[in-house]
Structure 1
Amino acid sequence: MTGLHERHLAVSPEWLALYYRHPLELTHGEGRHVWDADGNRYLDFFGGILTTMTAHALPEVTKAVAEQAGRIIHSSTLYLNRPMVEMAERIATLSGIPDARVFFTTSGTEANDTALLLATAYRRSNQILAMRNSYHGRSFSTVSITGNQAWSPTSLSPLQTLYVHGGVRSRGPYAELSDERFIQACVADLEDLLGHTRRPAALIAEPVQGVGGFTSPPDGLFAAFREVLDRHGVLWISDEVQTGWGRTGDHFWGWQAHAGHGPPDILTFAKGIGNGMSVGGVVARAEVMNCLDANSISTFGGSPITMAASLANLSYLLEHDLQGNARRVGGLLIERLRGVTAASPAVREVRGRGLMIGIELVKPGTDEADPEAAAAVLEAARAGGLLLGKGGGHDTSVLRIAPPLTLTVAEAEEGAAILADALHAAG
């Protein structure tokens, strides 16, 4: 155990998890690579939990941060803030939400917490519909709507949460149905649930479940849900903390795979837009955003320095069509991964879209999740020079792959080869 590891354990909560038997101290990064304190170089396929969205040490972002830091770092929302207004204007337009208003936070947890505040105040109800296997953050309110037991440490809650089917396509009671019948069954479940509740405020859903193992329903499910929700006056919150900004390749926002009835009432974002800076936020139509009748500010949300980083990062993403790169390179990577895992009895499924890919591991010959195998592959991949994530609703048995969106074809091939060796070594 290193000295830094010992010091970490001495001052940190026991529940603050670290990856690897011998945890890494990352000291610097460039492009899609990072280096540890011992000088080892790694291809980064996790990007600080999907947060290094474009690249490590992207010159355009680091320059914007340095220049803004030389002027003023902080002011709060009590003063006019040009970078914040400029970023809000761009996000309002990109969101697809009519007459949109934008409020900035410092994290995805805080963004979802704000969305819950807006929805419950607007609807005057503390009932929330959420998806099974979901994850929405670590605050008291967001933990209470998280449908993943591994990430929900308490049953105490300020909200009454009811869980809906549909977030996981290949497990559960509807797994064997066709996509069309799967959607019909989930809609029927939602209709039945609404028939037994008073006045839900909102349905909150990740278009692709992140911590849950990059699972997703068939395209169109949330559009079908929206038709039902609209009849009951229930709001739709799309949690785009992990799916936003083109990561799925096919769409700029995850909700656009379910766009039959237009955009969500509320959209939340965070993670990648700051490329490592602490940025989150909420977009909602004015009627919903303006429903609060008490004072509210944000001390750190939308700070000049984080907005400068976000503006530079967003400009780079759009000018270099990183959504298109996620679609092209991500499509190649998922096919390579399916190829190298096809003969492995431990791999139940390779799924995902764009540069958001999950590999679910099970005990060979069964459908039982195998978190020990996932941990072993994580270690073997690190030894081979590749950093991965893990998650899943079944005891963290899913390898999560989400590299920066500038990933090259050569790097995708390299990562797939390292992962193939890691699966062989661990298995």
Structure 2
Amino acid sequence: MSASLLQRHRAVMPSWLALNYAEPIEIVSGKGSRVTDAQGKGYLDFFTGILTNMIGYDVPEVREAVERQLATGVVHTSTSYLIGGQVELAEKIARLSGIPDAKVFFTNSGTEANEAALLLATYARRTDQVLAMRQSYHGRSFGAIGVTGNRAWTNVSYSPVHAHFLHGTDRHLPQFAGMSDAAYTEACVQDLRHVLATAAGGDVAALIAEPIQGVGGFTMPPDGLYAAYKEVLDEYGILLVSDEVQTAWGRTGQGFFGIENHGVTPDAMTFAKGLGNGFAVGGVVARAELMDALPAVGLSTFGGNPVSMAAANATLDYVLEHDLQANAAKQGDVIIGGLRAAAERLPAVRDVRGKGLMFAVELAGARAAAALMEACRERGLLVGKGGLYGNVVRMAPPLNLTDAEAAEGLAILTASLETLDAS
């Protein structure tokens, strides 16, 4: 760590901008699934810039696509002009989404994407009431904070939306202890009906939900819960928005989009992070009826810019051509299975959960999670943290992770857990 760089960072950056590790690191180079810090230490990266470097670092196909666009001299034009790469990417996403008659609007981030989806839903339904999930996170902006069900990430109590929070990812609570998936799903559905009958006055615009909660520590409902919810939502005309910022593009291994695990097609999906493999891109894909309904003129100055579109098209093509969804399922089975086997002899581990290359270890407390992160870093593995109580170490390696890298990461995690348990 450069002490002077850390001092400069603290002098000019907000105090709430958290840094990982007791001695924060600066990543200065990367190749494949590995990065190197400013001190020359190498790491296997299992957190990929918070699930953003989806196919690793310095990928030739992505780099060359970006270089070709830069060579034209056109870095930016705005949505006031036609952008071929933007149309091409929108066509691919619309086709892959499974949403009938889909249209796509590009933004710069997942936060912006969720704001756009909330706007579409509240305008269509003419109400500010929105359903969201407990423990959820949808971004740092004013509207997104309003549908975030995690107090640690919520700055203000007031919001442009009136949110009601549902069960579905909180099976650790005593009232749900010992329930089967079916019983828990039924209890959640009945609670949804009760919320609609009591707390929610009049019409509700939408339910916005992450198929797997990112900041929430990769908590997730039983498969099929959102299909059961949608049956109720459809009775009231309430829309379903799936926040796919962390679960899209085959990461779960089970479906190309996380909501597919529930056997239901939403009215809209938001996306960002991994699609650009490090370049800023986000967006919403929704039914044309929803997307075209807004009456005011709109644009996105930087959303869908030519450089990001070049990177995103190349990234998505790479994911599809190399069937990385299948690789996520394969490598995830190895790592999650290995972690669960190790957890049987490690009392500090409360839970191992995940799908594909999106998995987490829940520990006894926040201190244990911080200690595990440090132990992994010392052994050359980068991981992330999350969870409602800050006690979860979460991981999302590149989707093209190799057999050898999966085995290496699992070995480091196991060794780090063993050290933690012994301390």
Shared fold (TM-score, shorter chain, > 0.5): yes
> Is the aligned partner of 1:18 residue 2:44?
no
What CA deviation, in whole Å up to 9, does each residue of 1:323-350 have, x standing for no partner?
0000001111101111222211110000
Of the candidates 251, 258, 278, which is equivalent to residue 254 of structure 1? 258
Of the candidates 221, 229, 239, which is equivalent to residue 233 of structure 2? 229
Hey, what's the Cα distance between the residues in 1 that align with 2:50 and 2:191? Answer: 32
TM-aligned CA deviation for residue 149 of structure 1: 1.1
SS at match of 2:103: strand
> Is the aligned partner of 1:57 residue 2:52?
no
Would you say the 8 A contact 1:361–1:397 is kept in 2?
yes
Residue aligning to 1:411: 405
What CA deviation, in whole Å up to 9, does each residue of 1:148-175 have, x standing for no partner?
1111121121111100110234445324
Map of 1:13-412 to 2, 5 A cutoff?
13-71=14-72, 72-171=74-173, 173-196=175-198, 197=200, 198-259=202-263, 262-362=264-364, 370-394=365-389, 396-412=390-406
Change (3 A) 1:292 1:382: same
TM-aligned CA deviation for residue 263 of structure 1: 0.9
What percent of counterpart residues are identical?
56
Would you say the 8 A contact 1:169–1:218 is kept in 2?
no
TM-aligned CA deviation for residue 401 of structure 1: 1.0
What TM-score, normalized by structure 2, do the two folds share? 0.97
Hey, what's the Cα distance between the residues in 2 that align with 1:293 and 1:175? Answer: 48
What CA deviation, in whole Å up to 9, does each residue of 1:16-58 have, x standing for no partner?
0000111000001111000000110000000000001112111
Could you tell me which amino acid in structure 2 is paired with residue 40 of structure 1?
A: K
Between 1:172-181 and 1:43-52, the stretch displaced more is 172-181
Could you tell me which amino acid in structure 2 is paired with residue 214 of structure 1?
A: F
Residue aligning to 1:367: none
TM-aligned CA deviation for residue 426 of structure 1: 2.7
Hey, what's the Cα distance between the residues in 2 that align with 1:344 and 1:155? Answer: 40
What CA deviation, in whole Å up to 9, does each residue of 1:367-401 have, x standing for no partner?
xxx0001001101110000000010012x100101
Hey, what's the Cα distance between the residues in 1 that align with 2:203 and 2:149? Answer: 20
Could you tell me which amino acid in structure 2 is paired with residue 296 of structure 1?
A: G
SS at match of 1:173: helix
Hey, what's the Cα distance between the residues in 1 that align with 2:98 and 2:174? Answer: 33
Could you tell me which amino acid in structure 2 is paired with residue 373 of structure 1?
A: A
Q: Which sections of structure 1, spanning at least 5 residues, go unmatched? A: 363-369
Q: Which sections of structure 2, spanning at least 5 residues, go unmatched? A: none
What TM-score, normalized by structure 1, do the two folds share? 0.96
State how many pairs are aligned: 417
Could you tell me which amino acid in structure 2 is paired with residue 399 of structure 1?
A: V
Hey, what's the Cα distance between the residues in 2 that align with 1:245 and 1:67? Answer: 24
Between 1:85-94 and 1:331-340, the stretch displaced more is 331-340
Hey, what's the Cα distance between the residues in 1 that align with 2:414 and 2:183? Answer: 35
Hey, what's the Cα distance between the residues in 1 that align with 2:114 and 2:300? Answer: 15
Residue aligning to 1:365: none
Could you tell me which amino acid in structure 1 is paired with residue 83 of structure 2?
A: N
Hey, what's the Cα distance between the residues in 1 that align with 2:20 and 2:344? Answer: 27
Hey, what's the Cα distance between the residues in 1 that align with 2:245 and 2:39? Answer: 32
RMSD over aligned Cα atoms: 1.0
Could you tell me which amino acid in structure 2 is paired with residue 26 of structure 1?
A: I
What CA deviation, in whole Å up to 9, does each residue of 1:187-244 have, x standing for no partner?
0000111112211100000001111010111110000000000000100000000000
Hey, what's the Cα distance between the residues in 1 that align with 2:317 and 2:174? Answer: 41
